[in-house]
Chains A and B, each alone.
Chain A
Amino acid sequence: MSNNIKYLEQKSLEYRKTTLEIIYNSGAGHTGGSLSCLDILNVLYNNILGITPENFSSSNRNQYIHSKGHSVEALYTVLCDKGFFSKSDLDTLNNFNSHFIGHPTRKIKGIEHNTGALGHGLSVAVGMAISKKINGSDKFVYALLGDGELSEGSVWEACTSASKYKLDNLVVIIDRNKLQITGKTEDVNPIEPLDKKFESFGFEVNIINGNKIEEILQSLELIPFKKNKPNVIIANTTKGCGVSFIENQVSWHHKVPSEGEYKIAMEELNKRLK
């Protein structure tokens, strides 16, 4: 295993600790979904996007849309690590008059677009990707969507435009943790066969384990998968990934750990940190 993979795996453990810490301290947050998408954000921000505080105001760079806005604690964690803001700023999460709230906003440096209502991010990403095509840019637009979010019809409206405009500079990543607030996605409103749905909408599909750093990295390095076709990565993940008693539990969608649960979770993560 390369040193980079090992480095990122350790980063993921640190990120999970920070995410749990800010949720615990602020008394609110989407624990399960943040932990499921953290490895994807880790690889994106450390190896793929090249978005930095210094180049964030530049128009010719990659862009990232966090369409599953409720998992903002994971995004805050990674952006903080990348130097977009200080940890003491992040520690104001959910305080009165703080811009660090339960969904992303452009008031926070590093965030492209305000999300929170589901099914919005992909259309915005499509617009950004068309804009890059018009400008002759070789940069990419990445959008992370939740799997429950895929019930929103607007997602599929956006897919038709992505295909029509041959947006091979658009990378859609599905955090496929198979749970949503009510229960299993396939019980609430089935979305399978997801790969065939995206294929029929004109996407080139790659299915990976979205909690394996190596697989995420390999997949993202293959972008664009095919000329003139939008890309989708179906990242099979575990909701609550990394903490045994949080994993795959519907109840942890937006549950905040108690003092005891927080200590046990941190102990679990610390044992794996080297």
Chain B
Amino acid sequence: MTDIGKPNLEIFAETLLNQAKQNKDIIAVTSDSRGSGKLVTFGNELPDQIIEVGIAEQNLVGLSAGLAAGGKIIFAVSPASFLTARSFEQIKNDVSYSDHPVTLVGISAGISYGQLGSTHHSLHDFAALRAINNISIVAPADNFEAAEVIKKAVSYEKPLYIRYGKKPMMNLPRKNSNFEISKASIIREGKDLTLVATGETVQRAYLASLILQDKGIDVEVISMHTIKPFDNEALINSINKTKALISIEEHSVYGGLGECCSSIISQGEFNTKFKIIGIPDEYMINGTQADVLDHYGMSPEKIADTSVALLA
């Protein structure tokens, strides 16, 4: 049986509201995005702790840097597609280079917006932000991680980008109930195969592990919620005990989780079978998030098939 929770985006908004009620320095900054960011209640309950800039993402990020420089604890909330592309230079210069601890919240990330098309998809955000110095990148998998990362972000002293999807997520089991940015969550332990995933694809990896379990394959599932700084140790520990590794991400196959793993494997000279599953470099097929992920090999069944083939 699977335990279905809420959309991570709703958990973000609830957690931020609770934190902000206890700390008047917390301010949400939005770009006509309080509805899509589930922050309508926040705006109603704490009107003095929300700044609205309208549809102006460059200004959203620059202004957020200024507020952070003034000592405020800033959560700049905007669709991930626009936040990490339209205001890329503000993230690079005004937040990261200038070292203001703004938390950038990319909402409806990946292909959450489904049929709205590539203008609204963020399949570039890991790759783009990984190449910027001095910013951490987190994609929480389930409600637990979605809430914990916001609590950590309140006192995080560096620029931080957090990516949220909008579909209800399974509440995943985990080996350890501590959450730390840059420390991977071990969802289940196994000895035959490692499935490492991030964000909303972790539940797909977990469901694949249940299918594989029925086939007698013992799978380790890792939620690599932090893309940067990457938890090299967690990955290395896992591939040292399993026979193969598959990475799964709602992101381009270029520059994301898979290539993080690839870099570690090749530079560490680990001899493991390895496969990256993500969005290929092609004109994207249209559909719901679920249909598109399934199409690109991320249904639990397809992940299980790929796993069996890789281990053969």
Contact = CB atoms under 8 A, between A and B. Distances in A.
B157 to A, nearest CB: 15
A134 B72 contact: yes
Contacts of A52: none
A126 B66 contact: yes
A116 interface: yes
Given A113-B94, A120-B89, A124-B65, A135 B70 contact: yes
A123 B66 contact: yes
B56 A128 contact: no
Contacts of A124: 62-63, 65-66, 69, 94, 98
Interface in B50-77: 51, 53-54, 56, 58-59, 61-72
Nearest to B96: A114
Given A112-B69, A123-B94, A128-B69, A161 B63 contact: yes
A119 B48 CA distance: 28
B59 A128 contact: no
Nearest to A127: B66
A161 B53 contact: yes
Interface stretch (A10-18, A152-160, A217-225): A152-160
A65 to B, nearest CB: 8
Nearest to A114: B98
A3 interface: no
A131 B99 contact: no
B66 to A, nearest CB: 2
Given A106-B98, A116-B93, A131 B71 contact: yes
Given A123-B90, A124-B94, A128-B70, A113 B65 contact: yes
A123 B70 contact: no
A92 to B, nearest CB: 20
Interface string A123-150: 1111111111011000000000000000
Contacts of A126: 59, 62-63, 66
B67 A113 contact: no
A95 interface: no
Instruction: Identify which of B51, B63, B94 gathers the most chain A CB atoms within 10 Å of its CB.
Output: B63
Residue in B51, B58, B66 with the greatest tally of chain A CB atoms within 10 Å: B66
A59 interface: yes
B97 interface: yes
Chain A contact residues, majority secondary structure: helix
Nearest to A153: B58
A131 B62 contact: no
Contacts of B97: 105, 114
Contacts of A132: 70
A120 to B, nearest CB: 6
B65 A106 contact: no
Instruction: Name the interface size band of chain A.
Output: 20 to 34
Contact of B64 (A112, A127, A134, A165): A127
Contacts of B68: 127
A127 B58 contact: no
Nearest to A129: B66
Nearest to B102: A127
A130 B51 contact: yes
A59 B63 contact: no
B54 A160 contact: yes
B62 to A, nearest CB: 3
A117 interface: yes
Interface in B76-98: 89-90, 93-94, 97-98
A116 B63 CA distance: 17
A181 B59 CA distance: 25
B59 A131 contact: no
Contacts of B51: 130, 165
A157 B93 CA distance: 17
A117 B63 contact: no
A64 to B, nearest CB: 12
A125 B72 contact: no
A158 B67 contact: no
A152 B6 CA distance: 41
Given A124-B94, A157-B53, A158-B59, A130 B66 contact: yes
Contact of A59 (B54, B70, B98): B70
A161 to B, nearest CB: 5
A128 B66 contact: yes
Nearest to B92: A117
A154 B86 CA distance: 11
A140 B48 CA distance: 21
A58 to B, nearest CB: 11
Given A120-B93, A123-B58, A157-B56, A113 B69 contact: yes
30 contacts: A112-B69, A114-B97, A114-B98, A117-B89, A117-B93, A122-B62, A123-B61, A123-B62, A124-B69, A124-B98, A125-B66, A127-B67, A127-B68, A127-B69, A128-B70, A130-B63, A130-B66, A130-B67, A130-B70, A131-B66, A131-B69, A135-B70, A135-B71, A154-B58, A154-B59, A154-B90, A157-B56, A160-B56, A160-B59, A165-B51
